[in-house]
Amino acid sequence: MKDRVAVMHGVNLDMLERRPSDVYGELSFPQLERQIGKFAQELGLETRFFQSNFEGEFVEELHRAADYADGLLLNPGAWTHYAWALRDALEIAGLPAVEVHLSDISAREEWRQLSVLEGVVVGRVKGQGVDGYHSALQMLKEAM
């Protein structure tokens, strides 16, 4: 049986093609998810995708994730920097999780450099664009 990964995207990721391409890359959100699916397939992982612009909805999905996933791949978007409820929900989920960002959040505005998920994720990948999802999936596979 393949390991199951919940790929969860947060606020504004569904508008990827309308965001600055020099920061977030050239792919649309559907193209990004297709590429992540290909990466996962190469690694023998089964994926289930979720995206929301509503923090409470994202938290509720984290609460359900243990019912259908063995690990979590998270790009919470701007919630990364202030949504402490996500951290708590991730602890409740009790699954290995990797945080991933298209841009290098540590080289951007000061407020983007904090991650509320630090300490509850097994790793973080940033600044590799779409290829960062491949690295993150590999990291997650090793942790499951």
Catalytic residue status for 101:
yes
Out of 9, 24, 133, 134, the active site residue is 24
- 73 strand-pairing partners: 7, 98
d(CA 141, CA 144): 5
d(CA 21, CA 97): 27
Out of 9, 81, 82, 101, the active site residue is 101
d(CA 59, CA 33): 20
Would you name the residues annotated as active-site residues? 24, 101
